[in-house]
Amino acid sequence: MPSDGPAGRSRYITVELAHIDLDRAGRAVLRDIHWRIRPGERWLLFGANGAGKTQLLKLVSGAVWPKPTGRGRRHYRYAGELHRTPQDVIGEIAYLGPERQDRYQRYGWDSTVERVVATGHFRSDVLLDRVDARARTAVRAALATLGIGRLAGRSFLSLSYGERRLVLIARALAARPRLLLLDELFTGLDADFRARVSAWLERTARSRRPWVLAAHRRADIPRAATHALVLDRGRIVYRGGIARAPLAQWFGTGGARRRQPKRRAGRVLVRFTHADVYLDGVQVLHDLDFELRAGECWVVHGGNGSGKTTLLRTLYGDFGVASGGTVYRDGIEPGVALEVFRLRVGLVAPHLQADHPQHLTVAEIVQSGARASIGLAARATARERAAADAAMREFGVLRFAARPLAELSYGQARRVLFARAAVGRADLLLLDEPFSGVDPRTRADLLRRLERRAAAGAAIVMATHHRDEWPDIATHELELHRGRIVYQGLRRI
């Protein structure tokens, strides 16, 4: 194991929090936090959506400041010195969460993967320096650690959600951080990518670099974890060794679900024939023949980069089909706008969470679902407001109606997207990794609500990497590999 150097001059950071409170917009988020992170410790951070996990990581990273109570203490020890604020060590801490990934989407930060990872080496958001030989060596090493060197020349925004996540992990590694804060690290990763990240985390046991990993799934707990901290409504309810951590209650599924009776398929909603789809001149989907009927529930699966997101966005109409292929959408004839179809479709997708301005209130975001728009160009009608209130009540976010999106946890924001998709009783629900960042109990609750929607006649197409997210009502499955269908038909298991 590498030495930390002379006594008292550790190469890694020790963090000490005592009597820490945190408020956001006048609301209590964290209360009386006591926590110490030492070199050699690898922490699992757990709790339900809204428990305060992300805000705690941001507080440790220096991105947010505690409530000035006069008794709180936030100390950082590094290289033999004591720092009473994070400002002097902030460049030595790498915080990686879904928000950073969303930022690239929101602001259109699109450069090559090499240049994105190089910003980690230079510890900047955008690349201001030339990628010299030293930086290029650091970038290649970081990409090689995760086995994604082949992506170096690719455009970042052309990557799948999971590929982007691995690139941003590499970016964090290129910064050579003295403390790693990892928020929902495994979100959007297929089995192969999860295995790569898990193997990297296991190798960190050879170092004394501390890390904290916030997670929602039992399968995401690496064997290298040494400690656990559990939050409940902003307070620590457990802090100690991983072996004695009371995690079982947090991994409950909310009760067993049972397979629903088969439903008769109805009219054709969408049909692709010999469909090819290109993005930025690169062919992503190849010769698709696919038909979706009312009453069907499809699960789309395949590895990162296989084309799942592109398929769902093509179904929605965001992407067109190349010449030689055809698309049929129910009710859309020459002279009828595509928006007429979109008004009958509910969409939940990572890019929607990134695209919505953070200052919009939950009510405004849900109301926008009635118009299939990002935001509202004009005030919602009384009917739209009533429909949005009903959807917010159904999906348990009515109490957040007046709060801006920026104040919600990632999982709470995902629930808001479900409410937005439900406005207007959609004929078709398109769900792209809909349970990313969602805790197990919320996931079980949302699945039950989807089953009710399907029982009422809605068709569903859901892309996911996790078998335990497949709805019991799933009737069909479609497997993609490198943009081609390798199986489509009745659900096999």
8 inside domain? no
Please check whether residues 19 and 108 belong to one and the same domain.
Answer: yes
Per-residue pLDDT at 8 exceeds 70: no
341 inside domain? yes
- One-letter amino acid of 235: R
Write down the mean pLDDT value for the chain: 91
30-79: pLDDT as tens digits: 999 999 999 999 999 999 889 999 999 999 999 999 999 999 999 999 99
Contact 133, 197 (CB under 8 A): no
Longest dimension (CA), the chain: 77
Please check whether residues 187 and 286 belong to one and the same domain.
Answer: no
Per-residue pLDDT at 429 exceeds 90: yes
Among candidate residues 219, 250, 281, the one where a domain is terminated: 250
Closest CA to 161 of 371, 307, 29: 307
Please check whether residues 241 and 300 belong to one and the same domain.
Answer: no
- The residue-averaged pLDDT of 113-121 equals 95
Question: Is the alpha carbon torsion for 376, 379, 381, 385 positive or negative?
Answer: positive
263 inside domain? no
Q: Please give the residue that has the higher pLDDT: either 215 or 479.
A: 479
**DSSP state letter for 361:** B
258 inside domain? no
Alpha helices by DSSP H, listed for 204-345, are: 308-316, 338-342
Question: Treating both helix axes as pointing N-terminal to C-terminal, what angle do 113-122 and 161-174 enclose, rounded to 10 degrees?
Answer: 30
What's residue 401's pLDDT? 96
| CATH value at residue 432 | 3.40.50.300
What's residue 7's pLDDT? 41
Closest CA to 167 of 116, 94, 108: 116
- The residue-averaged pLDDT of 146-154 equals 95
Per-residue pLDDT at 258 exceeds 70: no
255 inside domain? no
Please check whether residues 225 and 125 belong to one and the same domain.
Answer: yes
What beta strand segments (E) does 193-258 contain? 211-214, 227-232, 235-241
Rounded Cα–Cα distance for residues 12 and 274 (Å) = 56
Q: What percent of the chain lies above the pLDDT cut of 70?
A: 95
Q: How many domains does the chain have?
A: 2
Lowest mean pLDDT among 225-234, 259-268, 335-344, 371-380: 259-268
Among candidate residues 215, 250, 285, the one where a domain is terminated: 250
Please check whether residues 278 and 245 belong to one and the same domain.
Answer: no
| Tokens encoding 269 | 């909603």
Please check whether residues 476 and 433 belong to one and the same domain.
Answer: yes
- The residue-averaged pLDDT of 230-254 equals 83
| Tokens encoding 290 | 């696919």
Please check whether residues 286 and 179 belong to one and the same domain.
Answer: no
Q: What is the Cα 158 distance to its own chain's centre?
A: 17
What's residue 9's pLDDT? 62
274 inside domain? yes
Burial 432-448 (b: 16+ CB within 10 A, else e): bbbbbbbbbbbbbbbbe
Lowest mean pLDDT among 10-24, 99-113, 312-326: 99-113
Please check whether residues 273 and 340 belong to one and the same domain.
Answer: yes
Please check whether residues 218 and 300 belong to one and the same domain.
Answer: no
Rounded Cα–Cα distance for residues 425 and 447 (Å) = 17
3 inside domain? no
Please check whether residues 231 and 309 belong to one and the same domain.
Answer: no
Per-residue pLDDT at 330 exceeds 90: yes
What's residue 1's pLDDT? 38
Rounded Cα–Cα distance for residues 399 and 366 (Å) = 13
Question: Is the alpha carbon torsion for 159, 165, 168, 170 positive or negative?
Answer: negative
95 inside domain? yes
Please check whether residues 241 and 273 belong to one and the same domain.
Answer: no
Instruction: Reduce the DSSP state of residue 383 to 3 states and report it.
Output: helix
- Reading phi first (left if > 0) and then psi (alpha if -120 to 50, else beta), residue 274 is in left
Please check whether residues 206 and 108 belong to one and the same domain.
Answer: yes
What's residue 2's pLDDT? 42
Per-residue pLDDT at 4 exceeds 70: no
What's residue 367's pLDDT? 96
Rounded Cα–Cα distance for residues 365 and 416 (Å) = 8
What's residue 468's pLDDT? 87
- The residue-averaged pLDDT of 171-193 equals 93
Domain that holds residue 18: 14-250
What's residue 260's pLDDT? 52
Rounded Cα–Cα distance for residues 383 and 5 (Å) = 67
Give 436's contacts (C-beta < 8 A, 6+ positions apart). 98, 184, 187, 188, 350, 410, 414
